[in-house]
């Protein structure tokens, strides 16, 4: 059983939803990443998602695109982010998920990528631009090193394709809450609740379901868990705080921790128990 699975099971037994917090590795500088991660974990993040900055992040909106540019300008490399993931895992013990586009994995070599990821203690990997139909070798390599492969399902995912995705995903199913790219939103769409309710019958008792894209407020997180999801994924709002206070690190860390606490508090005692 992977560490990601253990966290979801533990939280579910307590009736809590899981809070997955995303930040871009190396933004605004690599030396900030472990301190940012610590603030999020102390605030209540259950699983940390670290992004490998990429020049063409097609699934990301302006906030995370900008973070990738800053991280690349600061000299951040894929190997560096894997190393930072290892530092976070060793210090805090929380599961760490890497989000990357396939190009860096391909250039490094799939086998080498997962060998390095495992050596640094990475628990799972998300690759938004890798279709499940083309992921056989990728999944085999990940499985051989005991790293979870977290695939995405979207509002346009058919029931037939969802079955294929569920046959390959491990750790959790990453549900994209709406059409479009990442980015904080003011309101949670009713269609997101409907999407969760559509997917839950296929995931319940099989794999945790976590919802991301546009989740930015405690009330969003609470509604998502109440709708039947096992976790929420929050990214752009955290990245916005990093950008807003990059000149005042202490203020940045304070606000990151405060938001994480608010989000986590909102999803306590509203999760499913069996």
Closest CA to 37 of 255, 215, 253, 264: 253
Cα angle value 218/127/197 (rounded, 5°)? 45
φ and ψ of 235, to 5 deg: -130, -65
* Residue 17: predicted pLDDT: 97
Q: Is 3 a catalytic residue?
A: no
Which single residue is written with the structure tokens 């300008």? 73
Catalytic residue among 16, 27, 46, 49: 49
- Nearest CA to 98 among 17, 23, 5? 23
What 92-95 contacts at long range (C-beta under 8 Å, 24+ apart), as own/partner pairs, is 92/37, 92/38, 92/41, 92/48, 94/7, 94/41, 94/45, 94/46, 94/47, 94/48, 95/2, 95/3, 95/4, 95/7, 95/46, 95/47, 95/48, 95/123, 95/124
Residue 62 — pLDDT band, cuts 50, 70, 90? confident
Do 244 and 28 form a contact (C-beta atoms < 8 A)? Answer: no
204-251 per-position pLDDT tens digit: 999 999 999 878 889 999 999 999 999 999 998 999 999 999 899 999
pLDDT tens for each residue of 108-132: 999 999 999 999 999 999 999 999 9
- Which run of H or E residues covers position 20? strand 18-24
* 50-61 tens-digit pLDDT: 999 988 777 677
User: Which region, left, alpha or beta, applies to residue 210 given φ > 0 means left and ψ of -120 to 50 means alpha?
Assistant: beta
| C-alpha dihedral, 242 to 248 to 249 to 255, nearest 10° | -60
Is 60 one of the annotated active-site residues of the chain? yes
Per-residue pLDDT of 144-195, as tens digits, reads 999 999 999 999 999 999 999 999 999 999 999 865 444 445 556 788 899 9
Name the band, by pLDDT with cuts 50, 70 and 90, for residue 274: very low
The CATH number of the structural domain formed by 3-266 is 3.20.20.70
List, in sequence order, the alpha helices (H) in the chain: 3-13, 30-43, 62-73, 78-92, 102-108, 110-119, 136-144, 159-168, 190-203, 218-226, 236-244, 249-266
Question: The tokens of 133 are what?
Answer: 């139909």
Query: Per the residue annotation, which of 60, 123, 230, 255 is the catalytic one?
Result: 60
Alpha carbon distance 51, 45 (integer Å): 16
Supply φ then ψ for residue 125, to 5 degrees.
-135, 135
Q: pTM to 2 decimals?
A: 0.93
From residue 83, give the alpha-carbon distance in Å to each of 29, 90, 98.
Answer: 14, 11, 11
């Amino acid at each position: 059983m992977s560490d990601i699975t253990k966290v979801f099971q533990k939280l579910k037994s307590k009736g809590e939803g899981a809070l997955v917090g995303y930040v871009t590795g190396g933004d605004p500088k690599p030396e900030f990443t472990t301190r940012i991660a610590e603030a999020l974990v102390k605030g209540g993040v259950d699983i940390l998602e670290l992004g490998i900055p990429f020049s063409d992040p097609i699934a990301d909106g302006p906030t995370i695109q900008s973070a990738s540019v800053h991280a690349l300008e600061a000299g951040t490399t894929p190997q560096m982010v894997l190393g930072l993931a290892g530092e976070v895992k060793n210090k805090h013990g929380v599961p760490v998920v890497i989000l990357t586009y396939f190009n860096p994995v391909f250039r490094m070599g799939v086998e080498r990528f997962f060998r390095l990821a495992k050596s640094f203690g990475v628990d799972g990997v998300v690759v938004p631009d890798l279709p499940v139909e083309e992921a056989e070798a990728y999944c085999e390599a990940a499985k051989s090193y005991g790293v979870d492969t977290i695939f995405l399902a979207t509002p346009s995912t058919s029931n037939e394709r969802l079955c294929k995705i569920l046959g390959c995903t491990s750790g959790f199913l990453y549900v994209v809450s709406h059409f479009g790219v990442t980015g904080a939103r003011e309101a949670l769409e009713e269609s997101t609740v409907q999407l969760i309710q559509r997917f839950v019958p296929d995931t319940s008792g099989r794999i945790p379901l976590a919802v991301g894209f546009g989740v930015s407020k405690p009330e969003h997180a609470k509604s998502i868990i109440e709708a039947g999801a096992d976790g929420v994924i929050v990214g752009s709002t955290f990245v916005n705080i990093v950008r807003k206070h990059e000149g005042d690190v202490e203020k940045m860390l304070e606000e990151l921790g405060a938001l994480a606490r608010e989000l986590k508090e909102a999803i306590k005692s509203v999760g499913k128990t069996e």
